[in-house]
Amino acid sequence: MEKTKVVLLSGGFGTRLGEETMLRPKPMVEIGGMPILCHIMNIYDACGFNEFIIALGYKKEMIKQYFLNYMYLQNDFCIQMSQATVDIVRHRQPDWTVHLLDTGLNTMTGGRLHRLRNQLCGNTFMTTYGDGVGDIDVKRLLDYHKSHGKLATVTLVKPRARFGTVDLMGDQVVCFKEKADTGGWINGGFFVFEPGVLDYIGHDTDVLERDVLPRLAEEGQLMAYRHDGFWDCMDTMRDKQYLESLWASGEAPWKCWRED
């Protein structure tokens, strides 16, 4: 049976992370010593999805080098200098198949999928960005998608409020809420698509959120999967620091895999 592939949109510039993304692509920015891209891949792997297509763009060589050297970066090893051999001392490798494909430096999110159409045609596939994590059961998400028969499913989440809110009576503050729940649903970036979605994309300049999803919604082909649990996106340095603090506490809500 054909595996469900996972596309990771990892080619953007990530300018709001400032100095971090001057040095590296946003998906390679680390949380707890591991690129956020690998955190996302572990979320899928924990649910049985281990074939990934990484859509590359900005600083693509850094992501390629990381996976080429993954075995040595993640394990202890011994180098026999005179024999020019390397022996892995502690072998810890995920059972992943990783396709690293250049989708262009300035290509937009929809356009990156368009460039991958030859790898995606014929089968349902999942897609997400290279900067969002959550305790999302992606197997349940896929099952929900298959149950409704539409072309696309978007995961909706309730974001963490970044600022406190107040309730007023005239000019008097009657209630102060620190970082209250915003209450509204937003796009959480975990998608399931049928190959027919690719027919809605024609150019590198097509933006998934602006050009593709609205058309699918207008034609009744976009369904929502509501996720009430944890979700957060590493959009700014404040977000990175928040995710780092969760990881350091040992209580990162998105961590659903076991470390050997």
Q: What is the pLDDT of residue 169?
A: 62
The distance between the two most distant Cα atoms of the chain, rounded to a whole number of Å, is 80
As a whole number of angstroms, the distance between CA 10 and CA 31 comes to 16
Other CB atoms within a 10 A radius of the CB of residue 250 amount to 7
CA distances (Å), 80 to each of 7, 73, 76, 152, 247, in order? 38, 18, 14, 52, 36
As a whole number of angstroms, the distance between CA 86 and CA 128 comes to 36
Q: What is the pLDDT of residue 180?
A: 53
Q: What is the pLDDT of residue 113?
A: 97
Nearest-CA neighbor of 154 among 47, 231, 256, 101?
A: 231
Contacts of 119 (CB under 8 A, 6+ apart): 5, 53, 99, 101
Q: What is the pLDDT of residue 206?
A: 97
Mean pLDDT in runs of 10 for the chain (260 residues)? Answer: 89 79 89 95 96 97 94 84 84 88 96 96 94 96 96 92 61 54 82 97 95 94 95 92 94 78
Tokens describing residue 79: 């180098």
Q: What is the pLDDT of residue 176?
A: 58
Residue type, 58: Y
**pTM to 2 decimals?**
0.88
Q: Which residues is 86 bridged to in the sheet?
A: 79
Q: Which residues is 53 bridged to in the sheet?
A: 7, 99
Give 99-136 as a 3 state SS string: EEEECCCCCCHHHHHHHCHHHHCCCCEEEEECCEEECC
- Provide the phi-psi class of 82: left if phi over 0, else alpha when psi is between -120 and 50, else beta: alpha
Give the H/E segment covering residue 30. strand 30-31
